[in-house]
A and B are shown apart, each in its own frame.
Chain A
Amino acid sequence: MTLRDKTADDSPRSLVRAVLYDATIRGWVFQGLVLVFLILFAAWVIHNTAVNLRAANIPFGFDFLNMRAGFDISQKPIAYTLDSSHAQAFKVGLVNTIIVSVLGIVFATIIGFVVGISRLSKNWLLARAATVYVETLRNIPLLLQLLFWYKAVLSVLPGPRQGYWLPLSINLSNRGLTMPRPIIGEGFEIVLSTVPVAVVLTWVMARWAKRRQIATGQPFPVFRASLGLIIGLPLAVFLVLGAPLSFEFPELKGFNFVGGMVIHPELTAMLFGISLYTATYIAETVRAGILAVSTGQSEAAFSLGLRPSQTMRLIVVPQAMRVIIPPLTSQYLNLTKNSSLALAIGYPDLVAVFAGSTLNITGHAIEVIAITMAVYLALSLVTAALMNWFNARVALVER
């Protein structure tokens, strides 16, 4: 309003003009129109849904979660029977999703870092092999790869009798991966409890070593010492307690294995597919991160007299990680969301169990899909929040 020309007449017409062309007022009117439209649209959708649900005789509500599920789930990491509720089935699905996501993230990270660094290797053969791997698997849909591992590799494997024996008594057959089951003996909790102790000790040692180096210039092999602590301490306690861990080895009885631990073919195929696929993206992230650190940085480090390993550890990796970690997290998120493709090969994850079986049995489409989406959405939002916090912490402080 302040911009209005003083010489303009204050007749009602020009006042109307001024109001009509005022950016703020226009903005609010426009927003109001959008709001009204959204409310009307939502009301229309809700009305239609209510009418349709009444016609289909499905009352809206979450009571169905307490009803008897009555379907079986092939992989039950937590207690579940046919008489369990749909809520329990939801939990089983969620745990299965978490299992495949966590294992997938571990494998994909390892493969991704190895391949990403290999692509930058001076060894021509290795670099080419890594490139071919990345360019092939990245350009094929994940669903197709999952079906390939499941239908074309694992189901045409021979039965347990002719299965392939891998090292450590692991058997690969059409029943999946069969491996020795660890049996936890007495006192194993003590062994486990030494791990946090070792971590705390490492932290204290690292602080001490840093202070000493600043004060005296004397370096201390922190990395090797902490590795020794974290592996050595639990190992020593483990041996002192008389190795309270034994393995039950799988044995062939008749046509199948008795004992041991079985990873179902569905989970095996999921892990193969999802780790190898996501690893290609992680490899590209890692490569980009390392390339983002300019060569001047390593040259400067060399001129300060740091050895190549020190240069890598103290100069290149910390700077590369700043670039790598944000996209790496979004790859982890993608992997978790992609684990929903498990449905296609019958691995009982959250979507397969809940949005599949429960939805089909109860018909509560809106509630089931809303819950499923909410789980993934919550996960994404939490990760995004953590990522923003991390970025704010590690971002370069510019002058």
Chain B
Amino acid sequence: MNRIETDTVFVRRDFLEPEAPPPSLGGVPGWVRKNLFSSPLNIVVSLTMLFLLVWLLPPLIRWLFVDAVWTGTNREACLPKNGETMGACWAFVNAKLAQFTFGSYPADQRWRPSLVMIGFFLGLAWVAIPKMPRRREGVWFMLTAFPVLTFWLLYGGLGLPIVETPNWGGLLVTLVVAISGIVASLPLGILLALGRRSKLPFIKIVSVVFIEVWRGVPLITVLFMASVMLPLFLPTGVNFDKLLRALIGVALFTGAYMAETIRGGLQAIPKGQYEGAASLGLGYWQSMRLIILPQALKIVIPGIVNSFISLFKDTSLVMIIGLYDLLGSIQRNFSDASWSTPSIAPTGLIFAAAVFWVFCFSMSRYSMYMERKLNTGRKR
């Protein structure tokens, strides 16, 4: 075979520029086609969803913002006059904002709960953001000194006028119940979780019964128990505060859930860690404190945050036993004659929902973030 020698051999030395995809596949039309109208079923679903959006969103936005009343001093502002439609009554929220935040805490003393709240959020940022310096000290400060300072500031004494707890209310009570619940339930949960994994039969049985009983009943019955049965259990004459009783109920209830969360972490620690601790000659408490718990608690941080989210939502139940948390104080104001209009109930509840949502949603995002971060740390 002869090779054909010619000058006209065409050899391409570089790549062709890629052509743009056809307009129906690229850009916005392509995206719409791929994600919204890829099959007959998808077309029907997308059109239904679009119809629902067009049908629901404009009236909602109109009610929330356009037709809403933003200023006013009493119910007159929010009463529909001669047939015009009225939206949300934000004037009501505006007028009662201090009450929703502090309850009936004396106005000249409100700097105290404000200081506590600011301190709490600063402390939380210190502890929760991974790059902060001296986080370990921060955790100890938040778990020990901060509660004492908070109690002193909120309740008074030592130079500050005393404010009795029936005057506390609103978001303040919500935060107090949620935070003291979580702080008290952590040590309780650790002890119960260790007890449930203990080799001592009696300790194990006591822990299992305690955990399962509290987890098996609704929180509301626990709160009822704390509010009507606890006074019967104590010596005659010892009568303590309604808020404290609710706190005890919440702490016991959350402690049981916390125990199960922490047990999950304990179970995730490989057996070699226990054996390694034992081979170093560490006793039970030493190996728990120095080897096992630091690792187990780190794994369950997302679980603890999730427990805190459900506890935060559950604090609204203290309203049923007559404490005025955020929801309770909003609900109480529905019967205020000077504001009584049909629109205050939806407005107040939507406001409360927004506050709860902001707290819970940001915490759940934080928990997801920690989960990702801790995962990569363990992956190696």
Residues of A bordering B, CB below 8 Å? 27-28, 30-31, 34-35, 38, 45, 48-49, 51-53, 55, 121-126, 129, 135-136, 138-145, 147-148, 151-153, 155-156, 337-338, 340-341, 343-344, 351, 355, 359, 365-366, 369, 372-373, 376-377, 379-381, 384
Please tell me if the beta carbons of A343 and B213 are within 8 angstroms of each other in the complex.
no
Chain B contact residues: over half helix, strand or loop, or mixed? helix
In the complex, whether B377 has a CB less than 8 A from a CB of chain A is no
Size range of the chain B interface in the assembly: 35 or more
Please tell me if the beta carbons of A344 and B217 are within 8 angstroms of each other in the complex.
no
Nearest B residue to A128 via CB reads B49
Please tell me if the beta carbons of B352 and A144 are within 8 angstroms of each other in the complex.
yes
Chain B min CB distance to A375 (Å):
9
Expressed in whole angstroms, the Cα–Cα distance for A259 and B331 within the complex equals 35
Expressed in whole angstroms, the Cα–Cα distance for A153 and B345 within the complex equals 9
Expressed in whole angstroms, the Cα–Cα distance for A372 and B224 within the complex equals 11
Given contacts A48-B236, A373-B217, contact A34 B202 (CB under 8 A): yes
Residue among B202, B228, B350 making CB contact with A31, cutoff 8 Å: B202
Chain A min CB distance to B85 (Å):
13
Please tell me if the beta carbons of A147 and B331 are within 8 angstroms of each other in the complex.
yes
Expressed in whole angstroms, the Cα–Cα distance for A49 and B46 within the complex equals 64
Nearest B residue to A366 via CB reads B229
Please tell me if the beta carbons of B35 and A343 are within 8 angstroms of each other in the complex.
no
Residues of B bordering A, CB below 8 Å? 35-36, 38, 42, 45-46, 49-50, 199-203, 206, 212-213, 215-221, 224-225, 228-229, 231-236, 309, 313-314, 316-317, 319-320, 327, 331, 334, 342, 345-346, 349-350, 352-353, 356-357, 360-361, 364
Please tell me if the beta carbons of A51 and B236 are within 8 angstroms of each other in the complex.
yes
Residue among A139, A148, A359, A384 making CB contact with B349, cutoff 8 Å: A148
- Could you pull out 21 A-B pairs where Cβ atoms are within 8 angstroms? A34-B203, A48-B232, A53-B232, A122-B35, A124-B36, A139-B361, A139-B364, A141-B316, A143-B316, A144-B349, A151-B349, A152-B349, A340-B221, A351-B221, A365-B229, A366-B232, A369-B225, A373-B217, A376-B216, A377-B217, A384-B212
Residues on B with beta carbons closer than 8 Å to the beta carbon of A377:
213, 216-217
Chain B min CB distance to A41 (Å):
10
Please tell me if the beta carbons of B46 and A123 are within 8 angstroms of each other in the complex.
yes
Please tell me if the beta carbons of B357 and A343 are within 8 angstroms of each other in the complex.
no
Chain A min CB distance to B324 (Å):
14
7 more contacts with CB within 8 A, not counting A52-B236, A143-B327, A341-B320, are A126-B45, A140-B353, A144-B349, A155-B345, A341-B317, A351-B220, A373-B225
Please tell me if the beta carbons of A343 and B236 are within 8 angstroms of each other in the complex.
no
Please tell me if the beta carbons of B220 and A340 are within 8 angstroms of each other in the complex.
yes
Please tell me if the beta carbons of B202 and A35 are within 8 angstroms of each other in the complex.
yes
Chain A min CB distance to B292 (Å):
17
Residues on A with beta carbons closer than 8 Å to the beta carbon of B202:
31, 34-35
Residues on B with beta carbons closer than 8 Å to the beta carbon of A27:
199-200
Please tell me if the beta carbons of A369 and B200 are within 8 angstroms of each other in the complex.
no
Given contacts A48-B236, A147-B331, contact A343 B220 (CB under 8 A): yes
Residue among B215, B317, B360 making CB contact with A140, cutoff 8 Å: B360
Chain A contact residues: over half helix, strand or loop, or mixed? helix
Please tell me if the beta carbons of A372 and B327 are within 8 angstroms of each other in the complex.
no
Residue among A123, A135, A151 making CB contact with B334, cutoff 8 Å: A151
Expressed in whole angstroms, the Cα–Cα distance for A145 and B353 within the complex equals 8
Expressed in whole angstroms, the Cα–Cα distance for A51 and B236 within the complex equals 8
Instruction: List 3 A-B pairs, minimum CB-CB distance, nearest first.
Output: A380-B216, A152-B346, A139-B360
Residues on A with beta carbons closer than 8 Å to the beta carbon of B352:
144
Most-contacted residue by chain A among B213, B233, B234, B327 (CB, 10 A): B233
Residues on A with beta carbons closer than 8 Å to the beta carbon of B35:
122-125
Nearest B residue to A55 via CB reads B236
Expressed in whole angstroms, the Cα–Cα distance for A124 and B309 within the complex equals 29
Please tell me if the beta carbons of B317 and A143 are within 8 angstroms of each other in the complex.
yes
Expressed in whole angstroms, the Cα–Cα distance for A338 and B313 within the complex equals 12
Expressed in whole angstroms, the Cα–Cα distance for A45 and B203 within the complex equals 21
Most-contacted residue by chain A among B50, B232, B235 (CB, 10 A): B232
Please tell me if the beta carbons of B361 and A135 are within 8 angstroms of each other in the complex.
yes
Please tell me if the beta carbons of B349 and A48 are within 8 angstroms of each other in the complex.
no
Residue among B46, B331, B360 making CB contact with A125, cutoff 8 Å: B46
Chain A min CB distance to B223 (Å):
10
Residues on A with beta carbons closer than 8 Å to the beta carbon of B327:
141, 143-144, 147
Residues on A with beta carbons closer than 8 Å to the beta carbon of B200:
27-28, 30-31
